[in-house]
Amino acid sequence: MRASGDAMHEAGIDNGDVLLVDRALTPSHGNVVIADVDGERVCRRLWKQGDSIKLQAADGVTRDIHPNEAAPIVFWGVVSTVIKSLLG
């Protein structure tokens, strides 16, 4: 997948980077994940303690995503690798 946006810069993912996403992995606390929330697909870091989960951006500014009944978090995969272009 190709990344669009800057909210994951501090996690090493910049606008235009190519992400290798492994669908077979089970997302665990601290993983950078691809997930669908309310019909939109986002790339965020997974925060997970017991049954409680949320999706956090890496920039400290963008608001956390909390699942609710109307908009559950549906995991798509775990980002395993980032490919960067050095030529822009």
Partner 1 sequence: MFALVDANNMYVSCERVFAPQLVGKPVVVLSSNDGACIARSNEAKELGVEMAQPWFQVRHLERTSGLIAVSANFELYGDMSARMMAIEARYAPRQEIYSIDESFLDFTEVRDDLLTIGRDLRRAVRREVGLPTCVGFGSTKTLAKLANHVAKTAERKPDSYPAELARVCNLSALSAQELEAVFAGTEVRSIWGVGRRIAGRLNEAGIQTVLDLVNADTQTLRRQFNVVLEKTILELRGTPCIEMADAPAPRQQILVSRSFGKSVVDVEGIVEAVSEFTSRAAEKLREQRSLAGAVNVFFMTSPHRDRDRQHTPNVTIPLVRPTADSRQLVTATVEAARVAFRSGFNYAKAGVMLLDLQPESVHQGELDLFGDDQLDRQPPAKDQAPLMEAMDALNRRFGRDSVTLGSAALASGGGDVRSWSVKQERRTPRYTTRWDEMSVVRC
Q: What is the binding site for partner 1 (CB under 8 A)?
A: 1-8, 13, 15, 18-19, 23-24, 34, 36, 39-43, 57, 74, 76
Which is nearer to partner 1, 2 or 49 (by Cβ)? Answer: 2
> Distance between CA atoms of 76 and 88, rounded to whole angstroms?
28
In the complex, least distance from residue 42 CB atom to partner 1, rounded to whole angstroms: 5
Which is nearer to partner 1, 7 or 46 (by Cβ)? Answer: 7
Three-state secondary structure readout of 36-48: EECCEEEEEEEEE
- Residue that has been written with the tokens 């956090």 in this structure: 56
